[in-house]
A and B are shown apart, each in its own frame.
Chain A
């Protein structure tokens, strides 16, 4: 658009010129532009920055229930030292990694498989694809409650089915045994996340030109080779986005675990988000809760930067 308006610029230095003119235009209209940016800026500051700064400040203070009334003394990094010394910290970190990796890997693989399936047209494909979106549309409290019943040791449907098929010989305590609680919440979270992955992959698949596959078929590639040499490279940016968003969404999962196990038994399914809530609203150690919250933000930020780095590089390429 700018090229055509300022016309007659050779394509070689077109970039430089248009950048310069952009800067000039920016200066001319800057007052007006700022005015229109203002609502967004106020929104960002009020909704994001202020709470984050408040959380950061809180994590450096001995903030308990009594601090609501009086003051919260500054204690430097003590909250961070305290939470890292707690016995629950190691287990919570390991749980968080297992939860995030387990959820994302299976969500992506199953989501991709379903996307490939629905990329072909077959009878009722439209209807089935819509039905598969249901897990995503349900409020997490509802799906959590449903899974709580499915996983119930004594009258849950999962144990009933497995017992009937003679896969297990005694009912398993999906939510109440320390070895299974984390797996159960991961399974639930995978189920919740599949539609999101499927939709993104599906729309990515539709942008791949059909000719590529035709050419590959002529060259004698089998389906598997086509998938690895055409589909995956073409979807590179979509895959990056799906993994990135999946990581951030999964890191902050809260409702599912709260409904299913409350982080228990004995912290067996505790992850950083639920632990932060526990510290704040069960133990009334708001400073420590804020510290754990900030550790989560930090992890998210690190992956955000990696993602932005990667996408910028691929844009340059």
Chain B
């Protein structure tokens, strides 16, 4: 007993100086970094994004390095986190006001981040010349008339196909839904599925289903419309006929890419961000617009992409430095180089014209942008809730738990109560 008491007393005695030393160390470290700047004061800002794979992570690092070279009085500390963690982490940090200065936000999450008070309208720092940007991408960063972010770049969805696999099956890339079903079935072999798409129970499914829904005239706000049910039937039939794997309900977009890159899927629904990694594989691929219900229609794709946003947790001094960085990234040459490395299409009109001429691979995506729209359109900050209803319906239909019509009706009653 006595031994115990003495031991804990010793521990207590030790722990206090240690704690004090810890504090001392921290503060002296900060002092030294402030002093090292010499005459001009260095502003330290932080940045968080979800570019964790080596190629895009390097692209991000290079961009920051380049900026720091021309702006010696601003230092940017970057923290990449996995995609699934970015939103929970940012919301937690918003609650405790510890967000990084700059947050790379998926444009789908802009409304959520605005309503959480996590990001600041850019009009507070300066003016954004809206005429310079494409309307679609601009609409994804606009909320209640304010602009909350500048696009890193933009993207949308199209159909990638494996040229040699299609040639082997003597088929050409499908243009209509009927062709898609047939071609996918013909491409099915023991080791390969015709098509891969992403239908997990999160926003990736809402995002990949959107072009099929919208092009057929459907909408997420009326999910039991005949147009929506037809789109759901298309996906269900793709799985039922074996054209697509039953595993699509478990495929993230990353896994869809892996299937395609490994030759286990002959076609995939995917965006331009996989063009740079695909170029490094041996796969001879082509890109065509997504098949439409009838021949000759223009597919309507959702607009993806990430945006530079400035958070409300930062000090005014940090926000000012962040604004300097944001403006710097939007210079035509910088943006073009960055977007090419990252697999984006510039949302800046001046950069887009050049970009299209230089990068034929992105032609389909760039052209489609004119008809594309924001996934959040009409849903405001309710996209997460609508996604819950819609993805449950998609999974019920794909797994045969319910017919597409039943699943759609159930989702619609949920959506009605969400949107009020």
* Chain A residues positioned under 8 Å from B385 (CB to CB): 283-285
A143 at the interface (CB under 8 A from B): no
With CB as the reference atom, state the residue of chain B lying closest to A67.
B116
* Chain B residues positioned under 8 Å from A178 (CB to CB): 399, 401
A68 at the interface (CB under 8 A from B): yes
Q: Produce 1/0 per residue, B396-414, CB < 8 A to A.
A: 1011010000000010001
Give Cα distance in the complex from A307 to B264, angstroms: 52
* CB atoms of A65 and B112 under 8 A apart: yes
With CB as the reference atom, state the residue of chain A lying closest to B87.
A281
Residues 376-420 of B at the A interface (beta carbon under 8 Å): 381, 384-385, 387-388, 392, 395-396, 398-399, 401, 410, 414
Residues 95-147 of B at the A interface (beta carbon under 8 Å): 95, 112-113, 115-118
* CB atoms of B250 and A264 under 8 A apart: yes
Residues 44-92 of A at the B interface (beta carbon under 8 Å): 64-66, 68-70, 87-88
Give Cα distance in the complex from A263 to B395, angstroms: 11
* CB atoms of B395 and A265 under 8 A apart: yes
Q: Produce 1/0 per residue, A258-292, CB < 8 A to B.
A: 00011111111000000000100111110000000
Are A36 and B396 also in contact (CB < 8 A) when A65-B115, A153-B245, A266-B401 are? Answer: no
Residue from B12, B116, B193, B245 within 8 A of A66 (CB atoms): B116
Are A154 and B247 also in contact (CB < 8 A) when A65-B91, A69-B116, A264-B395 are? Answer: yes
Residues 170-189 of A at the B interface (beta carbon under 8 Å): 173, 175-178
Residue from B8, B91, B250 within 8 A of A265 (CB atoms): B250
* CB atoms of B115 and A152 under 8 A apart: no
Give Cα distance in the complex from A128 to B116, angstroms: 53
Are A281 and B200 also in contact (CB < 8 A) when A173-B246, A175-B250, A265-B249 are? Answer: no
With CB as the reference atom, state the residue of chain B lying closest to A285.
B385
* CB atoms of A68 and B201 under 8 A apart: no
* Chain B residues positioned under 8 Å from A283 (CB to CB): 384-385, 388
Give Cα distance in the complex from A34 to B398, angstroms: 61
- Minimal beta-carbon separation of A215 from chain B (angstroms): 40
* Chain A interface, >50% SS class: loop
Are A284 and B246 also in contact (CB < 8 A) when A178-B401, A262-B200 are? Answer: no
* CB atoms of A282 and B246 under 8 A apart: no
Residues 246-263 of B at the A interface (beta carbon under 8 Å): 246-250
* Chain B residues positioned under 8 Å from A262 (CB to CB): 200-202, 250
Give Cα distance in the complex from A36 to B115, angstroms: 46
With CB as the reference atom, state the residue of chain A lying closest to B190.
A154
Residue from B87, B115, B118, B392 within 8 A of A266 (CB atoms): B392
* Chain B residues positioned under 8 Å from A39 (CB to CB): 12
Give Cα distance in the complex from A264 to B388, angstroms: 12
Give Cα distance in the complex from A176 to B249, angstroms: 6
* Chain B residues positioned under 8 Å from A65 (CB to CB): 91, 112-113, 115-116, 381
* Chain A residues positioned under 8 Å from B249 (CB to CB): 176, 264-266
Q: Produce 1/0 per residue, A3-40, CB < 8 A to B.
A: 00000000000000000000000000000000010010
Give Cα distance in the complex from A262 to B201, angstroms: 7
* CB atoms of B387 and A282 under 8 A apart: yes
Give Cα distance in the complex from A39 to B249, angstroms: 49
- Minimal beta-carbon separation of A79 from chain B (angstroms): 14
* Chain A residues positioned under 8 Å from B113 (CB to CB): 65
Give Cα distance in the complex from A266 to B402, angstroms: 10
Q: Produce 1/0 per residue, B198-210, CB < 8 A to A.
A: 0011100000000
With CB as the reference atom, state the residue of chain B lying closest to A35.
B12
Give Cα distance in the complex from A66 to B117, angstroms: 7
B296 at the interface (CB under 8 A from A): no
Give Cα distance in the complex from A212 to B384, angstroms: 63
Residues 133-159 of A at the B interface (beta carbon under 8 Å): 152-155
* Chain B residues positioned under 8 Å from A64 (CB to CB): 115
* CB atoms of A264 and B200 under 8 A apart: yes
Give Cα distance in the complex from A165 to B95, angstroms: 55
Give Cα distance in the complex from A263 to B249, angstroms: 11
Residue from A70, A173, A282 within 8 A of B202 (CB atoms): A282
Give Cα distance in the complex from A285 to B112, angstroms: 12
- Minimal beta-carbon separation of B265 from chain A (angstroms): 10
* CB atoms of A284 and B112 under 8 A apart: yes
Most buried by A among B200, B245, B388: B388
- Minimal beta-carbon separation of A77 from chain B (angstroms): 18
* CB atoms of B247 and A153 under 8 A apart: yes
* CB atoms of A69 and B117 under 8 A apart: yes
Most buried by B among A177, A178, A263, A264: A264
* CB atoms of B388 and A153 under 8 A apart: no
* Chain B residues positioned under 8 Å from A284 (CB to CB): 91, 112, 384-385
Q: Which 10 A-B residue pairs are closest in the complex by CB-CB distance? A: A69-B117, A266-B395, A66-B115, A265-B249, A68-B116, A265-B395, A266-B396, A65-B116, A281-B88, A173-B246
Could you pull out 13 A-B pairs where Cβ atoms are within 8 angstroms?
A36-B5, A36-B8, A65-B91, A66-B115, A68-B118, A69-B94, A153-B246, A175-B247, A176-B246, A264-B201, A266-B201, A266-B399, A281-B91
15 further A-B pairs in the complex, CB-CB below 8 A; given A154-B264, A262-B200, A265-B249: A39-B12, A64-B115, A65-B112, A65-B113, A65-B116, A68-B116, A69-B94, A175-B247, A175-B250, A262-B202, A264-B200, A265-B250, A266-B392, A266-B395, A282-B387
